[in-house]
């Protein structure tokens, strides 16, 4: 009887999840323009400093062990916040890129495909990095594990800018002016 | 009304299978059978298999043992086809996303293996609901197949939702039908195989299973009949302010 009850509950929960995903699928099929506005800017320079192994090594050498662990945990929490933002941005860019995949222009479609794949890779790396950060919070001497996310985010910038230029030809003028 | 071999019972034993054959015919007519060969084969063979089981149930010359052997053959073939369809749908879902294709395949293999192990353990704990191994074995096989199927389908839905993957219309409908069917069947077969319910409850469960199958066939019919709305996707322009931030970051990168 216990086994039967367990299976009934498991089946009911699975059904709820499947129906929930089905309902939320509408958001993926027709992304609202407001979605793109939810992309949060990320201070890449600060992020780079946080995940720099040389910085960690310097702190390790200069600080007493207990102080180092405390500081390192703070840095890990800050890194987790950056990784979370990068992961969320990756999700939004996936949706933005998928919406652009139906464009008639082959260049735009190719740029959108690159953006989607880059965003998915970043999402995957962000998830792995979050797991490693959680482990590192227990053992602060291990690495910060945010570097793959930082690299992926920088690559994604290029893809997003290319797609942005193709979608809105007015923007390259501004980019050229800035450079 | 809710009794074995009542008019409703007979309809639910035959009707959904005729609808499923209609789905196969529509797939063929619209040239979708080449795109979805596994589902096309499933639609034909599962419908014929169910009709064969129904025929064995009502034909007076078929013995009880003959009926259960027919059920076994149908179960094995139908289960294999279902897993083929699920694998094909997952493969199609991942096809445009090279970045996570390998990850998805690795995960699905792991989840599949874990679910087989888990279903085996559950079957080991089940005490069986009949003295005849042919009957209790068939019920346990149903439970085992639906444990694995619902676990794998749940994983695919969660994986796609986590990465916000865009589904094509028909593969989504196919998996949705299998998902609903596997969850309801898992619950009913879990109770039948483990809780020894009364004959009346078993009959009600049979109606629930057949009704669910009818619903799933209608879902598949809907997704085959109603074409994909191409206008549903509208390009979302990247926000200006974010581009400005990215531009600054790019500028900083170039200066390094």
Please identify every stretch of chain A with a pLDDT value under 50, giving residue numbers as ranges. Answer: 171-179
Contact at CB, B187 and A158, closer than 8 angstroms: no
pLDDT-wise least confident of B152-161, B191-200, B206-215: B191-200
Mean pLDDT of B158-171: 90
Whole-complex ipTM:
0.83
Check pLDDT > 80 for residue B147: yes
Percentage above 90 pLDDT, chain B: 66
> What distance in Å separates the CA atoms of residue B213 and residue B16, rounded to the nearest whole number?
7
Comparing B130 with B76, which gets the higher pLDDT?
B76
Chain A contact probe: residue of B97, B99, B155 with most A CBs at under 10 A = B99
Chain A CB contacts of B172 under 8 Å are: 25
Each residue's pLDDT tens digit, B218-253:
999 999 998 666 544 555 556 555 555 655 655 555
Asked if A42 and A150 touch (Cβ cutoff 8 Å), the reply is no
> What distance in Å separates the CA atoms of residue B171 and residue A117, rounded to the nearest whole number?
21
Contact at CB, B237 and A95, closer than 8 angstroms: no
For residue B128, the model assigns a pLDDT of 72
* Token code pair at residue B215: 């619903």
Q: Inform me whether the C-beta atom of residue B251 falls under 8 Å from chain A C-beta atoms.
A: yes
pLDDT-wise least confident of A24-28, B36-40, B131-135: A24-28
φ and ψ at A102, to 5 degrees? -90, 5
Contact at CB, B167 and A25, closer than 8 angstroms: yes
Report chain A's terminal Cα–Cα distance, integer Å.
71
Residue ranges with strand state E in B144-241: none
> What distance in Å separates the CA atoms of residue B87 and residue B196, rounded to the nearest whole number?
34
How far B179 CA sits from the closest chain A CA (Å)?
7
From B156, which residue of chain A is nearest by alpha-carbon distance? A18
């Amino acid at each position: 009887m216990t086994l039967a009850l367990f299976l009934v509950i498991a089946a009911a929960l699975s059904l709820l999840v499947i129906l929930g995903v089905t309902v939320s699928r509408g958001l993926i099929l027709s992304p609202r323009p407001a979605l793109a506005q939810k992309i949060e800017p990320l201070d890449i320079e600060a992020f780079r400093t946080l995940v720099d192994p040389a910085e960690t090594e310097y702190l390790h050498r200069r600080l007493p062990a207990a102080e180092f662990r405390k500081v390192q945990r703070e840095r890990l929490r800050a890194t987790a916040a950056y990784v979370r933002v990068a992961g969320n941005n990756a999700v939004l860019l996936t949706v933005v890129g998928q919406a652009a995949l139906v464009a008639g222009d082959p260049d735009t479609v190719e740029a959108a495909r690159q953006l989607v794949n880059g965003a998915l890779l970043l999402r995957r790396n962000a998830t792995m990095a979050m797991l490693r950060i959680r482990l590192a919070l227990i053992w602060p001497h291990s690495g910060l594990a945010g570097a793959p996310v930082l690299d992926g985010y920088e690559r994604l910038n290029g893809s997003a800018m290319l797609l942005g230029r193709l979608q809105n030809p007015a923007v390259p003028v501004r980019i050229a002016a800035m450079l | 009304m809710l009794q074995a071999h009542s008019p409703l019972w007979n309809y639910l034993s035959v009707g959904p299978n005729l609808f499923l054959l209609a789905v196969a015919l529509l797939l063929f007519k619209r040239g979708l059978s080449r795109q979805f060969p596994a589902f096309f084969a499933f639609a034909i063979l599962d419908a014929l298999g169910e009709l064969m089981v129904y025929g064995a149930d009502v034909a007076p010359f078929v013995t009880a043992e003959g009926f259960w052997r027919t059920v076994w053959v149908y179960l094995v073939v139908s289960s294999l086809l279902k897993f083929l369809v699920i694998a094909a749908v997952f493969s199609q879902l991942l096809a445009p996303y090279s970045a996570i294709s390998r990850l998805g395949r690795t995960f699905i293999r792991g989840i599949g293996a874990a679910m087989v192990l888990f279903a085996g353990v559950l079957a080991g704990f089940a005490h069986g609901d009949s003295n005849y191994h042919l009957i209790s074995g068939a019920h346990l096989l149903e439970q085992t197949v639906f444990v694995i199927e619902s676990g794998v389908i749940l994983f695919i839905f969660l994986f796609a939702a986590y990465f916000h993957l865009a589904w094509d219309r028909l593969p989504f409908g196919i998996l949705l039908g299998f998902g609903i069917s596997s969850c309801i069947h898992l619950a009913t077969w879990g109770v039948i195989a483990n809780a020894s319910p009364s004959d009346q409850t078993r009959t009600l469960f049979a109606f629930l299973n057949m009704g669910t199958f009818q619903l799933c066939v209608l879902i598949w019919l809907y997704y085959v009949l109603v074409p994909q709305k191409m206008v549903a996707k509208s390009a979302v322009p990247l926000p200006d302010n974010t581009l400005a931030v990215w531009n600054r970051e790019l500028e900083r990168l170039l200066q390094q």
